[in-house]
Amino acid sequence: MTNWYRVRFAAFLTLVVLCFAIPVAAVYSSFQKQQHIREQIVLHLRNANANLNEKDLRAISRTVCEASKKYGIDYRLVLALMKVESNFRHDAVSGMGARGLLQVKPSLAKYMASDMGIEWRGNRTIDDPGNNIRIGIHFLSELVHRFYCVTTALRAYNMGPEKTRELPPEKMTSPQGFPGLVLREYDRNIVILPDP
C-alpha cells in the first residue's frame, strides 16, 4: 500500500509541476517574443535614422507594441504609416497642422484623447510621442472596423472618413496614392521584421 501511495503522490506532483510549468513557459516564451520584436523595432528606427535618443527609441518601441496589440493592428503597418506620415520625425508638423510621428490633427486628437482617458493639454498632448502613437493607432483601428478594409482605412486616415465616403467605391479601395505608399512600406516591413 505504501508504494501505491508514493506512486500516486509522485504522479500528482508531476501533474502539478506540469500544470504550472507549461503556462509559465508559454508566458515566458511570449514575453521573449515581445522583447525580440521591441529590439527589432529599435533597430528598425535606428536604421531609418530616426533622430531620437536610445531612451526615446525604446519608449516608442514599447508603445507601438502595446498599442498595436491592444487595438489589433499589425505593428509593422503602424511603422509603415509612421514612415510615410512623418519619416519617423516625432516633431513633424504638416501644413494642415497634423503633428508627430503619426501626424494626428489636434481636433481629432482632442476628441480621441477624451474617448481614451488621456488628459488633453493642447498640442503638448500629441507632441508626446507615446500619446501620438496611442491616439493614431486607436484611430486607425476605428477606421479599419468602420470600413472593413485596410486600404480604405489608410485612405480615410489620410483624407478623413467623410471625404473618403464621398469617393466612388473603386477609388475608395484603390491602393493608389497614400494607401499604396503605406502598403509598399508595410510589405518591406513584413520581409524584415518578425511576425507579431
Query: Could you tell me which residues come within 8 angstroms of residue 139 by beta carbon, excluding any fewer than 6 positions away?
Result: 104, 108, 112, 157
Q: Give the mean pLDDT of 140-154.
A: 96
Task: Give residue 49's pLDDT band: very low, low, confident or very high (50, 70, 90).
Answer: confident
Predicted TM-score (pTM) of the model is 0.84
What angle, 0 to 180 degrees and rounded to 10, lies between the N-to-C axes of helices 129-147 and 106-116?
A: 90
Classify residue 5 by its DSSP letter. Answer: H
Task: Give residue 17's pLDDT band: very low, low, confident or very high (50, 70, 90).
Answer: low
Q: What percent of the chain has pLDDT over 70?
A: 86
Residue 179 and residue 155 in contact, taking contact as beta carbons nearer than 8 Å: yes
Q: For residue 152, give the 3-state DSSP assignment.
A: helix
Compute the distance between CA of residue 70 and CA of residue 14 in angstroms, rounded to an integer.
36
Mean pLDDT score across all residues of the chain:
89
Active site residue 85: yes
What CATH code is carried by the domain that includes residue 123? Answer: 1.10.530.10
Give residue 27's pLDDT: 47
Question: For residue range 93-139, what is the model confidence (pLDDT) as tens digits?
Answer: 999 999 999 999 999 999 999 889 999 999 999 999 999 999 999 99
Query: Could you tell me which residues come within 8 angstroms of residue 112 by beta carbon, excluding any fewer than 6 positions away?
Result: 104, 118, 135, 138, 139
Q: What percent of the chain has pLDDT over 90?
A: 74
Between 67 and 13, the more confident residue is 67
Nearest to 43 by CA among 107, 84, 73, 88: 88
Residue 13 has pLDDT above 80, yes or no: no
Compute the distance between CA of residue 194 and CA of residue 171 in angstroms, rounded to an integer.
32
Question: For residue range 61-70, what is the model confidence (pLDDT) as tens digits?
Answer: 999 999 999 9
Segments forming the whole domain that contains residue 81: 2-192
Give residue 173's pLDDT: 78
Which stretches does DSSP call E strand in the chain? none
- The number of domains in the chain is 1
Nearest to 102 by CA among 150, 34, 62, 154: 154
Helix, strand, coil content of the chain in percent (nearest 5): 75, 0, 25
Task: Give residue 24's pLDDT band: very low, low, confident or very high (50, 70, 90).
Answer: very low
Catalytic member of 39, 66, 85, 142 = 85
Compute the distance between CA of residue 100 and CA of residue 106 in angstroms, rounded to an integer.
10
Task: Give residue 171's pLDDT band: very low, low, confident or very high (50, 70, 90).
Answer: confident
- Exposed/middle/buried for residue 1 (C-beta within 10 Å: 0-12, 13-18, 19+): exposed
Between 173 and 124, the more confident residue is 124
Residue 157 and residue 140 in contact, taking contact as beta carbons nearer than 8 Å: yes
